[in-house]
Amino acid sequence: MKAVYYRTIILASLICLACTTRVSEWVLLNALPDQYTLIYFHKNPVTETVKKQNKEVVDGMKTANIHFKTVARNDVSESWYGLYYEERLFIRFKTLPETKNIISSPLREKISSELMSGKLCVMVYLLTDNREKDDTGRKTLQKALGASPFGSIISVVELSRNSKEESIFASLLLNVEDDLKDIREPMLFGVFGRFKALEPLLGKGITEENINLMIDYLTSECSCLIKDDLPGTDILFNGNWDNPAPALLNTIIDSNPALGL
């Protein structure tokens, strides 16, 4: 994400009437995640077997930010499943078993747990599996968090885009913007709230300055503009966001009020 974007958001929050609740906490407590849609496309009448299989999928997704529907189309030669977000196709599945980990995965569970424990955010570092490129971004991230007064309340997880277990999660991140999938650079996603992912920092854009601007946004006071037009893409997840732990950010700011200015 370009540095100017974060500067604009932070400036807007200062101009607008702000509340004392910080962005990261307000989003976790109040912002419901946007919905995905899983569509079963077919041409011929749906068999009872397929209806039963689809119902089992629907029953298992009731607490996730997703809904299911079937669509009959004459141009469909073979039935398939499409995962959509805001009318944009994210992932295409040939068969139902391919959607097995669509709403959850071990890494998504870990990230959710960190957010619910009061952490400011989770930095998800999407690897290229090119050691030199990945090490450069990793060192920059470690240095930035080590120097930040909020570094202790920011978790970092790494994800290989070639991971079989987390392939759907990686695909979801690579669809946060529609031109990411073909970019072979490490990417740093700030994940906060109820699994909202900001547009990533890419390759040489993973700098201490840009990481600090991301942190500044998440620690800034919430505003009417931010509430009405939250940046980021909600990641599909089957989680319970009720009763999170108190935000650890508040303890840091209370002990050093200058950080909240």
* pTM (2 d.p.): 0.89
Is 196 a member of any domain? yes
The answer to whether the beta carbons of residues 111 and 195 sit under 8 Å apart is yes
Same domain, 43 and 25: no
223 and 162, same domain (yes or no): yes
| 85 & 48 share domain | yes
Same domain? For 73 and 161 the reply is no
Q: How many domains does the chain have?
A: 2
Q: What is the pLDDT of residue 256?
A: 85
Within this chain, do residues 62 and 28 fall inside the same structural domain, yes or no? no
Residue 226 scores a pLDDT above 60: no
19 domain-assigned: yes
Name 91's bridge partners: 83
| 245 C-beta neighbours (distance < 10 Å), count | 10
Contact 106, 236 (CB under 8 A): no
Domain that holds residue 215: 3-32+105-245
Considering the domain architecture, whether residues 14 and 58 belong to the same structural domain is answered as: no
Is 162 among the domain residues? yes
- 251 part of a folded domain: no
- Final residue of a structural domain among 99, 129, 148: 99
Per residue in 108-154, pLDDT (tens digit) is 999 999 999 999 999 999 999 899 999 999 999 999 999 999 999 99
77: CATH: 3.40.30.10
pLDDT at position 13 is 47
The C-alpha atoms of residue 41 and residue 71 are separated, in whole angstroms, by 5
The answer to the question of residue 193 being in a domain is yes
Q: What is the mean predicted confidence (pLDDT) over 75-83?
A: 94
Task: Report which DSSP code applies to 64.
Answer: B
Tell me: the pLDDT tens digits for 146-190? 999 999 999 999 999 999 999 999 999 999 998 899 999 999 999
Same domain for 151 and 236: yes
Q: Phi first, then psi: what are they for 235, rounded to 5°?
A: -90, 140
Same domain for 167 and 51: no
Q: Is 134 in the same domain as 180?
A: yes
**241 and 144 housed in the same domain:** yes
Q: Are residues 140 and 15 in the same domain?
A: yes
In a domain, 46, yes or no: yes
- What is the per-residue pLDDT for 16? 45
The answer to whether residue 253 is domain-embedded is: no
Which of 99, 129, 144 is where one domain is finished?
Answer: 99
The answer to whether residues 157 and 125 touch, using CB atoms and an 8 Å cutoff, is yes
**Do residues 91 and 163 both lie within one domain?**
no
